[in-house]
Amino acid sequence: MPPLFRPLTAADLDAMVAVEQAAHASPWSRTLLADSFGERYFTGSFWQGEQLLGYFIADRILDESTLMNICVAPSWQGRGLGRQLLEQYLRLCRERGLARLWLEVRASNAPALALYRACGYVECGRRRDYYQTAGGREDAVLMQK
């Protein structure tokens, strides 16, 4: 059975927190994830039965969107689910008539950088020492499409 794509709801918060904490060294807090259900945000997720496989959170302001978070459960990483989530995000942006898309990514996240470039994003700047790491700080690469 292929994974089911659907928007997230507030009822999915526990599953989001579990995936976020398992997938990221510096995960978003429960409060920050809960705040992602406001009017300006839109989401997408893949599920297999009751299991959340991955999700994205994006915002929309006028004709622009920022991909705020994309997260894949560790057991599903490396299977193309991140690309499928990004493709669903891009599809929803097209359907909404969003003209400019933004994101930021850790400079050390080579797989994500390659994916974003393959999907038409280009680097447009950097935020020095933006992300905390175990050994200090690292840059955020700003990208737009």
Catalytic residue annotation: 104, 116
Measured between its terminal Cα atoms, the distance across the chain in Å is 33
